[in-house]
Copies of this chain bind each other. A is one copy, B any other.
Amino acid sequence: MEEKVYADVAGGLDQGRAAAWRALITSNALVLEKIERALAEAELPPLGWYDVLLELSGAPDGRLRMHELARAVVLSRSGLTRLVDRLEGAGLLRREPDPADRRGSYAAITEDGRATLRRMWPVYAAGIAGHFGEHLTDEEARVVAGALGRVAGAARSR
């Protein structure tokens, strides 16, 4: 029973929580893989694009500063620079200078960007429903959202 051995070594981590963590990362990887494949088959952009467009579409004036966006989609600033390059190249967003801070720029979603978001959502939603939501009771969904929301909130603030 090496699980036991490890559990002894690990201060403050019991087996139940370790199991929850493994289930989390594994289900995340497997479901994302399937959704990415579905998007590719529908000739739609990858999920990272969706995340960016969704954040922008919900922001005031459809735009966010680069560093806000990087934080929102959990990406390094350099990673975001390149991702935004690609989206801008595809015409789904525009960079706009910030008059109040001349170091910075906004990423602003375009009409094409909003249209792409709308085309992606059905495929994404079907993937979430079929590979994830399908397997949860209402109560489990509530608990998962609450608990993992708290985890994410704590990780963000620290």
**Chain A interface (Cβ within 8 Å of chain B)?**
2, 6, 9-14, 16-21, 23-34, 57-58, 74, 118, 121-122, 125-126, 128-138, 140-152, 154-156
Contact = CB atoms under 8 A, between A and B. Distances in A.
A57 B2 contact: yes
A148 B74 contact: no
The interface residues of chain A, by DSSP majority, are classed as helix
A10 B155 contact: no
Nearest to A26: B152
21 contacts: A2-B58, A9-B118, A9-B122, A10-B122, A11-B129, A12-B130, A16-B141, A21-B128, A21-B133, A23-B149, A23-B151, A24-B132, A24-B144, A24-B148, A27-B149, A30-B151, A31-B151, A31-B155, A136-B147, A136-B150, A140-B143
B133 A27 contact: no
Given A2-B57, A21-B133, A148 B144 contact: yes
A88 to B, nearest CB: 23
A122 to B, nearest CB: 6
A131 B24 CA distance: 13
A27 B29 CA distance: 13
A18 B128 contact: yes
